[in-house]
């Protein structure tokens, strides 16, 4: 990765209200935060996919240092979220990792990066998968607790994976996005001993108390789970990624 990862610090537990993925706005008016809010109105329209493609120029390059030795993680790219948007921890020692939560951003990749790096946003995810080519950005270390589920209990016990796109625009759910995400999800599951099942790989909409609808009706769960299932199995890797 291009930048040094954040140090692991002793975990602290904010009140559940600190994880407010649906109630905080960014301070910059040009970056409305509509991450994973079903039915949200986009301001980007048809230009969004072009903006996402343009972001490919100058993106951080993959580094083997971003993955545990010997793991089957796909190439990931360290783009750190602001520390104000997640909780430093020491998982799985502090909390077991038992779920993968699938999200859709309701934003472009570059705007989502700006949101995660805005300390006023109070939102983050561990990973974000780009629509055009399956590029994976990592924003929060897996040992730390990202604020993505809107439920503190699920935040502590899950890895959050955002996907660039909109719940009502299936053209964003490309083959590259599905395949890259499936490889990542399979690697996360194997790393922590999570069964590769729909009971443990869930949508944001399935988090208890969720008011969100993502990944939405156009997300092809059957296809996605087949891709996850067909990834080569891997043993449990070193912890604290």
Catalytic residues: 162
Environment class of 214 (CB within 10 Å of its CB; exposed 0-12, middle 13-18, buried 19+): buried
**Interaxial angle between packed helices 175-192 and 221-229, expressed in degrees from 0 to 180 and rounded to the nearest 10:** 50
CA distances from 179 to 29, 61, 158, 198, 228 (A): 34, 19, 21, 17, 8
| Residues near 199 by beta carbon (within 8 Å), at least 6 away in sequence | none
Beta bridge partners of 204: none
Phi, psi of 138 (to 5 degrees): -110, 125
Per the DSSP assignment, residues forming a β-bridge with 77 are 137
Question: Which residue from 96, 217, 100, 240 is spatially nearest to 157, judged by alpha carbons?
Answer: 96
Q: Are 172 and 51 in contact (CB under 8 A)?
A: no
What count of residues does the chain have? 241
Which of 157, 6, 141, 5 is CA-nearest to residue 94? 157
């Amino acid at each position: 990765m291009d930048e040094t990862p954040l140090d692991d610090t002793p975990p602290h537990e904010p009140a559940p209200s600190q994880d407010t993925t649906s109630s905080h706005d960014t301070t910059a008016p040009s970056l409305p935060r509509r991450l994973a809010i079903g039915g949200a109105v986009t301001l980007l329209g048809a230009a969004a996919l072009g903006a996402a493609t343009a972001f490919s120029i100058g993106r951080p390059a993959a580094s083997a240092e971003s993955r545990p030795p010997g793991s089957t993680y796909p190439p990931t790219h360290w783009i750190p979220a602001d520390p104000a948007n997640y909780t430093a921890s020491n998982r799985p020692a502090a909390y077991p990792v038992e779920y993968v939560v699938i999200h859709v951003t309701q934003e472009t990749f570059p705007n989502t990066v700006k949101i995660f790096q805005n300390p006023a946003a109070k939102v983050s995810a561990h990973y974000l998968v780009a629509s055009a080519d399956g590029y994976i950005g990592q924003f929060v270390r897996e040992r730390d607790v990202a604020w993505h589920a809107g439920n503190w209990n699920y935040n502590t016990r899950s890895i959050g994976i955002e996907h660039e796109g909109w719940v009502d625009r299936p053209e964003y759910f490309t083959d590259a996005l599905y395949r890259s995400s499936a490889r990542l999800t399979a690697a996360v599951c194997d790393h922590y001993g999570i069964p590769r099942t729909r009971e443990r790989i869930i949508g944001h909409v399935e988090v208890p108390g969720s008011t969100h609808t993502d990944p939405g009706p156009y997300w092809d769960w059957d296809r996605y789970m087949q891709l996850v299932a067909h990834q080569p199995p891997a043993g449990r890797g070193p912890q604290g990624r």
